[in-house]
Amino acid sequence: MSIYLVLIPLLFSMISFVLKGNTVKQIALAGSLILLAFTGYLVSSMSFSGVAEYVTTWNWSVSPPIQFSMGLDGLNVLLVLLTSVLLPLIILNSFDKADDSKNAVYGLTFLMVAAMNGVFIARDGLSFYIFWEMALIPIYFICAFWGGEKKIQITFKFFIYTFIGSLFMLVSLLYVYLQTPGAHSFDLEALTAVSLSGREAVLVMLGFFLGFAVKIPIFPFHSWQPDTYTNAPVIGTLLLSGIMLKMGTYGLMRWLVGISPEGLEQAKFWLITLSVIGIVYGSLIAITQRDMKRLFAWVSMAHVNLIAAGIFTVSEAGWQGALIQMFNHGVNIVGLFVVADIIEKRLGTRDLNELGGIASSAPRYAALAFIVLLGTIALPMTNGFTGEFLLLKSVYQYNQWLGFFATTTIILSAVYMFRVFQLAMFGNGNAKTAHFKDLSVSEGLVLGVVVFFILTVGLFPQTLLDLTKQSVEQLLQLSAG
């Protein structure tokens, strides 16, 4: 049944491409809710025993033997759930935007969701790589056709970065495939059973690392991200930041650690160090930004580098924290970019120096935006706290100095987020902000759902941690040998 997580969005992609007029908006929203309902049904009926469930396998080629295999377990369930939760919000946020190309935008969005779900549930190396590359195509066209200034140059840079990184990953994947016994196999279990040692383990690990590091992005492979997030249309930014970058963090856990734990062990210190540099660097750059959208792009980079650092510790705290934080980051960063989008729609600017006094004109908007801010800085009782605590704990237990520098994210995130809120919401208003309109129904619904998850996960984090616990324990035991 897991195959329907790919087929449902693929079906609505085709439907969206052929529809015309405003009807496509209602059909797209209905399709996203159907996917959410189906995902909820699968998740609610899983046992979470640590083994893959709802596995779908069929032969794609007999000679050489290649299969498409998909399934759900504790390692991917939160990411599939995140995709299904965010898709209706992303579509609903675009409802009040006038665009004659809505059918193409929604068609590409559903195509991208189908590919991303394929990446998350793939249990075969070749199908994983096919879906990985497939996800790049729709986001390229979304950014290239509907992006801002210099959209072609910026999108092409993003494409080149991710495509070259993917080629390194493919080389590692093929090398391990050729080491499998007999007729060779891309099956996940066959690939993870291959024993690598010494130089080959490091080289295979580096190939996977480059593919995933660019997508996340991990410092210093990040230079494409701020420009792409800033210049992409809002729907593209939400897809990239909310869901797509999780392909990289998930890939680290499932494929890099699963296939080459020996290689990671030899380079672990340096990879965690790069991630910690990314945390501090991204946070410091965020403090200096005036453009809200660009600022939130740097915020995203800092937070996902913390997730990567926790993954590289290969510890239960690091992996549990990473999985719940992937979900929380997706919710929070979508909330932040929606907050910025509402300001840009009303005022035609995202420059913090041109804002001020919005809270007095739009108190409901300011209140919901403030809760999104609190979730982002990981205030206790919000969704960001549990994951960030586990991640920082894992890094500190690995190395106290790296843990110390990683912990600066607590202070720095408060600095840049409260700076944004103060400059935008308080102070003296101006001619632009004096009559700032409060939330529409669709905007209130989008931010309301985001706030619901921030508070609910913050109060009951164990509900999500229980979904991942058994799979994390089993995979860590396998990686330990």
pLDDT-derived band of residue 428, with 50, 70 and 90 as boundaries? Answer: confident
Extract the tokens encoding 425. Answer: 């919401």
More confident position, 151 or 249: 249
> Residue 65, Cβ neighbours under 10 Å: how many?
14
Q: What is the mean predicted confidence (pLDDT) over 107-136?
A: 93
349 and 340 in contact (C-beta within 8 Å)?
A: no
CA distance 323 to 472: 9
Q: Which residues make Cβ contacts (< 8 Å) with residue 27, sequence separation at least 6?
A: 12, 15, 16, 19
Extract the tokens encoding 387. Answer: 């994951």
CA distance 77 to 46: 10
Burial of 93 (0-12, 13-18, 19+ CB in 10 A): buried
How do residues 304-356 score in pLDDT, each as one tens digit?
Answer: 999 999 999 999 999 999 999 999 999 999 999 999 999 998 888 888 888 88
CA distance 196 to 177: 12
Q: Which residues make Cβ contacts (< 8 Å) with residue 331, sequence separation at least 6?
A: 82, 85, 86, 242, 375, 383, 450, 453, 454, 457
Look at residue 480 and tell me whether its pLDDT is greater than 80.
no
How do residues 65-76 score in pLDDT, each as one tens digit?
Answer: 677 889 999 999
3-state secondary structure of 79: helix
Look at residue 108 and tell me whether its pLDDT is greater than 90.
yes
Look at residue 98 and tell me whether its pLDDT is greater than 60.
no
Element (DSSP H or E) covering residue 154: helix 151-179
Extract the tokens encoding 462. Answer: 């164990």
DSSP classification of residue 354: G
Report phi then psi at 292, rounded to 5. Answer: -60, -40
Look at residue 450 and tell me whether its pLDDT is greater than 90.
yes
How do residues 47-62 score in pLDDT, each as one tens digit?
Answer: 888 888 898 888 877 7
CA distance 289 to 353: 10
| Residue pointed to by tokens 């991208």 | 112
CA distance 138 to 116: 11
CA-based diameter of the chain, in Å?
A: 73
Nearest alpha-carbon partner for 372 in 298, 233, 364: 364
> Residue 197, Cβ neighbours under 10 Å: how many?
9
Nearest alpha-carbon partner for 231 in 182, 158, 176: 158
1 and 53 in contact (C-beta within 8 Å)?
A: no
How do residues 365-424 score in pLDDT, each as one tens digit?
Answer: 999 999 999 999 999 999 999 999 999 999 999 999 999 999 988 889 999 999 999 998
pTM of the predicted model, to two decimals?
A: 0.93
Q: Average pLDDT of the chain?
A: 90
